[in-house]
Structure 1
């Protein structure tokens, strides 16, 4: 588990670090909806592109990353 994930993440999120994603693609369902994100947004976008380039069908990115989400959400 990464330090960023431990510091804050979406409920029920599964942590798959960007550098490990390509090795774990066969463990994921390409038809299951996926939301990618990171702390600030850049890596989440890159991760979304990896999934889309490997024919995943329902991939979305949390624009701005978790920090932006956490700072702007209404409880």
Structure 2
């Protein structure tokens, strides 16, 4: 789950990532299946971690945060 704003998501994101900005997450929790595993991320990791905590506090069980965020992932995938 990409927790960045829509413009950041549009500029690049992980394959198959669903974009739900952190600010909108509480309003969209009913659209998510708490039984499925979720990986959260943002640019650097802080907002992704906050998103992870919201999900955990709403009884999602398999929630992980991409340490370092998209910038770290993107840096590791360049040739």
TM bucket, shorter chain: over 0.9
Structure 2 unmatched runs, 5+: none
- Residue in 2 that maps onto 1:38: 42
- The ranges of structure 1 where at least 4 consecutive aligned residues each deviate by more than 3 angstroms after the TM superposition are none
Distance in 2 between residues matched to 1:57 and 1:12, nearest whole Å: 20
Offset at residue 27 of structure 1 (A):
1.0
> What is the TM-score when the length of structure 1 is the normalising length?
0.92
Q: CA deviation at 1:72?
A: 1.7
Match of residue 59, structure 2, among 43, 55, 62: 55
Paired residues for 1:1-75 under 5 Å: 2-73=6-77
| Matched residues, number | 75
Q: Write the distance in 2 (CA, Å) between the matches of 1:63 and 1:37.
A: 8
RMSD, matched Cα: 1.4
Distance 1:57 1:70 in 2: 27
Q: Deviation per CA, 1:12-63: give whole Å up to 9, x if none.
A: 1110000110011111100101010001111000000000011101101000
